[in-house]
Amino acid sequence: MSPENRRSVLHGIRAQLPFLAWLVVLWMLLWAQFTVLSFVTGLAVAIFVTRVFRLPTVELSGRINFWYAAVFVVQFLFAVVQGALSVTVQVFDFRRQPGAAIIGVPLRYADDLMMAHVAVVSSLIPGSLVVEADRDRRVLYLHVIGVRSLDDVEKQRAGVLRWEQRIVRALGDPAQYRALRADERASAVSRSGSGSVSGSGGAR
């Protein structure tokens, strides 16, 4: 094997290590066993999956903000509990059926990896489930319950976009994070300008 091929193989292995580790964790969570045996079998399954069903290597962003990541975890756990309670209330509300809808959400900062993160998070929160992903247009289609009006639709869509922003803050690559910060500054300037105009109008 030539040095170039050897370096290419080593680079591929290093790039796949986070994915292998994640597959092992998923395997152990699936069986609810955190033992040496489950780790070994999970590693064997992960290697088999990545070797037999090979996909293009996903380049990670190389950026993790631990503060935003911790905030994201807390917000996610709270959203899971809140979603479970909301679904329970709707199921046992016999006076009316919970409304449901398919909602398209165009993501703003997503590449393939970020789109996958948003889809997984949205599906794990009770009450919503990603049913289709348009990779070319960066659009997620979700089935959500508890929707009875257009205002509810926009509320659900805004909620998914907030998760996208939270994930970008925690794990997005530098370009995505810069784009998010620029949009936040532009939004802040727009709000302050609107406040000044309304305040001047009130003074007159």
pLDDT digits (tens, 9 = 90+) for 38-84: 888 988 888 787 777 665 555 555 678 889 989 999 999 999 999 99
Please indicate, yes or no, whether residues 87 and 44 belong to a single structural domain of this protein.
Answer: no
Number of domains, the chain: 2
SS3 34: coil
CA distance 1 to 3: 7
Question: Does residue 105 contact residue 138 with C-beta atoms inside 8 Å?
Answer: no
Q: Domain span at residue 129?
A: 66-181
21 and 100: one domain?
no
**174: in domain:** yes
> What is the distance between the alpha carbons of residues 46 and 24, in angstroms, rounded to a whole number?
6
199 inside domain: no
- Residues 29, 83 share a domain: no
Q: How far is CA 153 from CA 24, 101, 129, in A?
A: 37, 8, 14
Domain presence at residue 139: yes
pTM for this model (two decimals): 0.67
Kindly report, residue by residue over 134-175, the tens digit of the pLDDT. 988 999 999 999 888 899 899 999 999 999 999 999 888 888
Burial class (CB in 10 A: 0-12, 13-18, 19+), 198: exposed
What's the chain's average pLDDT? 82
Task: Give yes or no: residues 169 and 75 share one domain.
Answer: yes
- Both 36 and 112 in one domain: the answer is no
In a domain, 76, yes or no: yes
Query: In the predicted model, is pLDDT for residue 187 greater than 80?
Result: yes
